Amino acid sequence: MPSNLLRILVADDEPTSRLLMQAALEKSGFEVSLAVDGEDALRQFNANPCDMVMLDVEMPDIDGYQVCAALRAEVGDELPIVMVTGMDNLGSIERAYEAGATDFIAKPINWSLIGHRVKYLFRSYLAMLELRTANARNAAILNAIPDLMFELDLEGHYLDYHSPRSDLLAGPPKRFLGRTVSEILPPDAAGECMSALREAHEKGFSTGKQFKLQLPQGTHWFELSMSRKSTDAGQAPTFIVLSRDITERKEAEHRITRLAYFDGLTGLPNRLSFLERLEREVHRAKFHGVGLAVLFLDLDGFKNINDTLGHTTGDLVLQCVADRLRLGVRPMDMVSRLDVDETEIGLARLGGDEFTVMIPNMTHGEDAMVLAHRIRELIRRPFNLEGREVVLTASIGIAVYPDDGESADALLKTADTAMYHAKDEGRDNCKFYSASLTRQAMQRLNLETNLRLALERDEFFLVYQPQLDLESGRIRSVEALIRWNHPEQGLIPPMEFIPLAEENGLIVPIGEWVLRTACAQAARWHASGHPLRVAVNLSPMQFKNPNLLNSVTDILAGGLAPEWLELEVTEGALMDDCDTTLATLHALRKAGVQLSLDDFGTGYSSMSYLTRLPLNMIKVDQSFVRGLPDDGDSLAIVRAIVSLAKNLGFSVTAEGVETLEQARILHSLSCETLQGYYFSKPVPASSITALLDKQWLLDGLH
């Protein structure tokens, strides 16, 4: 304590005690000024204020109490004023305090101790000053902090509060005192608060716990900072809680999240948030072994709307579609409810006119289809856009976890593929993706690549199926049928690669190869004394090729008379382009080639155009022959076809004859030619000659 700087004004009308006091205090290192009475004391203090005043209580005119009161009134309560009382009684001590004295010293004075006593008084005076400054600072700090501050005990009772923004609270914070957080706050908030309290109890502090409260002003978010207040050993700990209003920060965070996770136009979640959620759902599905479906929706012809009505209308359409989708996943009626928790269904706009829907926890795959149809129906209802009616449709692809993909990305991709599949099938459509769809696509791609090389690599060969001429009971003709000996997949039947070759145009060179090979084979049979007619299948596409006639005549010029060649065409080929087709058929007939209509009865079977075609023969499709003898319809159809063909002057071949009985019936119906496994399967050319000597007797009919 820097006592040498401290000056004490001693006021006493008694000269001896004045001097003794001076001596004792100066000895203890204080500077001392002396006043002879009250009035002198006041005057001196006013002229030269000091650090402490010691007043004798009893002085003439103005006594110590009066001086004390006057000084207090003048300088406030900071100046230490010590009263020296002669009377060691409670009354005078009380009066001293009432007058504003800081302390008192009773007479008789122990002069050897008085210095220490005054030093002690000064120390506590300084401590008090420090405390006061600290308090003032703390109060200022508290006032600068906008947070609500509470003090809680370990059970969560409010002990104290500081609430500069008590306008946030429903009532005065005082009413909290003595009650617990669970009584004051709603359960969620109280839970957070108590958990922060436990953490602070354990670690000394807790930060970051948040909760929201419904206040009269609206929803407010708060964040807690809590610290354990150090207390004396054995005392129960208490906790200081700062509760900060973070509503604005939350709102900013929310806005940022919306920008990152939501589509600005429709307000739906965007691709990022959809994929993130889908990933979580896939994990959940994996963990709980439940199903999950993803619907991928694309508006049909949306580009048209943008192009013709403008982008503003386009945007409006997308908003309306989003609204309908929201409706679609939350139906009002119970009838169309799915067997899943529909509140879990997730909706998103991926971009453009693409939307996605996810169905978590799905047990029945059909639910996805039900929802897809429900959405399709909703989209189909006309949209009224600023007085203009717009009708839209959507194509929807469905992928199901885990069959169609085991990750979010994979599911989205397969749903997308399925959507394209739906579009391919004529739009306004829903399609499941099935794993076999990709497998098929891959195989097809592979097959197509190999098909291009097959001719070069000489992988095709022909087999021939004999046709029995019923009049002679002998094989008089054969049908050439193509085979593909694939290097890895082995023998591939024509039904698997002919449609593909028709799609990519390869059928033209392949067909020409068949024609050339079959004719060359027929020429060889002729040369070896076996006059056989060979039937070659022609694809519609070959028919459309203007080169067909040239190619046929060119091939025949290689050494086969035209009447030994029969070209099999299907109804499809004839329907497409009637005039050109008719011209080609006539030209071929004129060239002397035989023409037959294959698979008759399976296509349009339009009798009227049959009359206009220059055909020699029709081949009754094997599906009718298969029905014989038991199926009455088949019998009636075959009978009708045969009689019609006869009337038109065509001869009739029946395909797919597998039993003697079928052969007999067809014979009785006056078919001229029979073809089928009963006589022979398609065989290599080398096996044909052995069959030619055989005379077929259909017992009882011949």
Residue numbers of the site for ligand C2E (CB under 6 A)?
Answer: 465, 481-482, 493-495, 498, 511, 514, 537-539, 568, 598-599, 622, 655-658, 675-677, 682
CA angle 391, 394, 399 (to 5 degrees): 170
Nearer to ligand C2E, 322 or 468 (CB): 468
Distance, CA of 53 to CA of 296 (rounded, Å): 92
Nearer to Mg ion, 263 or 566 (CB): 566
Nearer to Mg ion, 408 or 478 (CB): 478
Nearer to ligand C2E, 397 or 656 (CB): 656
* Minimum distance, C-beta of residue 511 to ligand C2E, in the bound complex (Å): 6
Give how far the C-alpha of residue 282 lies from the chain's centroid of Cα atoms, to the nearest Å.
Answer: 10
Place of tokens 């001429």: 469
* Minimum distance, C-beta of residue 271 to Mg ion, in the bound complex (Å): 51
Interaction residues for Mg ion, span 641-680 (CB under 5 A): 655
Nearer to ligand C2E, 420 or 678 (CB): 678
- DSSP per-residue letters across 532-569: -EEEEE--HHHHH-TTHHHHHHHHHTTT--GGGEEEEE
* Minimum distance, C-beta of residue 624 to ligand C2E, in the bound complex (Å): 12
**595's tokens:** 């023409």
Nearer to ligand C2E, 79 or 666 (CB): 666
Nearer to ligand C2E, 184 or 481 (CB): 481
State the binding partner of 495 from ligand C2E, Mg ion, none, CB within 5 to 8 A by kind.
ligand C2E
State the binding partner of 676 from ligand C2E, Mg ion, none, CB within 5 to 8 A by kind.
ligand C2E
State the binding partner of 346 from Mg ion, ligand C2E, none, CB within 5 to 8 A by kind.
none
State the binding partner of 511 from ligand C2E, Mg ion, none, CB within 5 to 8 A by kind.
ligand C2E
Number of C-beta neighbours around residue 93 at 10 A: 18
State the binding partner of 54 from ligand C2E, Mg ion, none, CB within 5 to 8 A by kind.
none
Distance, CA of 338 to CA of 430 (rounded, Å): 17
* Minimum distance, C-beta of residue 596 to ligand C2E, in the bound complex (Å): 10
C-beta separation of 45 from 23 below 8 A: no
Binder among 511, 598, 663, 673 for Mg ion (CB under 5 A):
598
* Minimum distance, C-beta of residue 692 to ligand C2E, in the bound complex (Å): 18
Nearer to Mg ion, 147 or 598 (CB): 598
C-beta separation of 683 from 463 below 8 A: yes
Nearer to ligand C2E, 10 or 657 (CB): 657
Nearer to ligand C2E, 8 or 498 (CB): 498
- Find the part of the chain contacting Mg ion (CB under 5 A) among 136-144, 462-470, 538-546, 591-599: 591-599
* Minimum distance, C-beta of residue 654 to ligand C2E, in the bound complex (Å): 10
Q: How do 533-537 and 474-486 pair as beta strands?
A: parallel
**Secondary structure letter of residue 628 according to DSSP:** T
Distance, CA of 411 to CA of 392 (rounded, Å): 26
Give the start-end residues of each E strand in 236-290: 238-245
State the binding partner of 17 from Mg ion, ligand C2E, none, CB within 5 to 8 A by kind.
none
Closest CA to 358 of 278, 270, 262, 273: 278
**490's tokens:** 């082995």
Distance, CA of 68 to CA of 71 (rounded, Å): 5
Nearer to ligand C2E, 57 or 508 (CB): 508
* Minimum distance, C-beta of residue 322 to Mg ion, in the bound complex (Å): 53
Edge-to-edge strands, sheet with 148-153: 158-162, 148-153, 238-245, 218-229, 205-215
**Secondary structure letter of residue 236 according to DSSP:** P
Interaction residues for Mg ion, span 558-587 (CB under 5 A): 568
* Minimum distance, C-beta of residue 625 to Mg ion, in the bound complex (Å): 10
Binder among 225, 273, 537, 651 for Mg ion (CB under 5 A):
537
* Minimum distance, C-beta of residue 602 to Mg ion, in the bound complex (Å): 9
Give me the phi and psi of 93, to 5 degrees please: -65, -45
Nearer to Mg ion, 360 or 601 (CB): 601
Q: How many helices (H) and strands (E) does the chain have?
A: 25, 26
* Minimum distance, C-beta of residue 620 to ligand C2E, in the bound complex (Å): 11
State the binding partner of 465 from Mg ion, ligand C2E, none, CB within 5 to 8 A by kind.
ligand C2E
Nearer to Mg ion, 302 or 679 (CB): 679
Give me the phi and psi of 433, to 5 degrees please: -90, 135
* Minimum distance, C-beta of residue 425 to ligand C2E, in the bound complex (Å): 24
Distance, CA of 690 to CA of 96 (rounded, Å): 148
C-beta separation of 55 from 83 below 8 A: yes
Binding flags for Mg ion, 487-526, as an x/- string (CB under 5 A): ----------------------------------------
State the binding partner of 466 from Mg ion, ligand C2E, none, CB within 5 to 8 A by kind.
none
State the binding partner of 347 from Mg ion, ligand C2E, none, CB within 5 to 8 A by kind.
none
State the binding partner of 367 from ligand C2E, Mg ion, none, CB within 5 to 8 A by kind.
none
- DSSP per-residue letters across 490-535: EEE-HHHHHHHHHHHSTHHHHHHHHHHHHHHHHHHHHHTT---EEE
Q: How do 594-600 and 565-569 pair as beta strands?
A: parallel
By CB under 5 A, tell whether 599 contacts Mg ion: yes
User: Which DSSP helix (H) or strand (E) runs through 350?
Assistant: strand 346-351
Closest CA to 167 of 235, 217, 225, 204: 217
Interaction residues for Mg ion, span 403-432 (CB under 5 A): none
* Minimum distance, C-beta of residue 340 to ligand C2E, in the bound complex (Å): 46
State the binding partner of 677 from Mg ion, ligand C2E, none, CB within 5 to 8 A by kind.
ligand C2E
The amino acid at residue 697 is: L
Nearer to Mg ion, 103 or 655 (CB): 655
**262's tokens:** 């939501």
**Which residues lie across from 227 on neighbouring strands?**
205, 240
Nearer to ligand C2E, 372 or 534 (CB): 534
Give me the phi and psi of 337, to 5 degrees please: -70, 145
* Minimum distance, C-beta of residue 495 to ligand C2E, in the bound complex (Å): 5
CA distances to 64, 179, 302 from 160, rounded to whole Å, are 41, 11, 65
* Minimum distance, C-beta of residue 568 to ligand C2E, in the bound complex (Å): 6
State the binding partner of 673 from Mg ion, ligand C2E, none, CB within 5 to 8 A by kind.
none
* Minimum distance, C-beta of residue 507 to Mg ion, in the bound complex (Å): 14
CA distances to 88, 678, 681 from 467, rounded to whole Å, are 150, 11, 10
Distance, CA of 42 to CA of 516 (rounded, Å): 142
Contacting positions for Mg ion (CB under 5 A): 537, 568, 598-599, 655
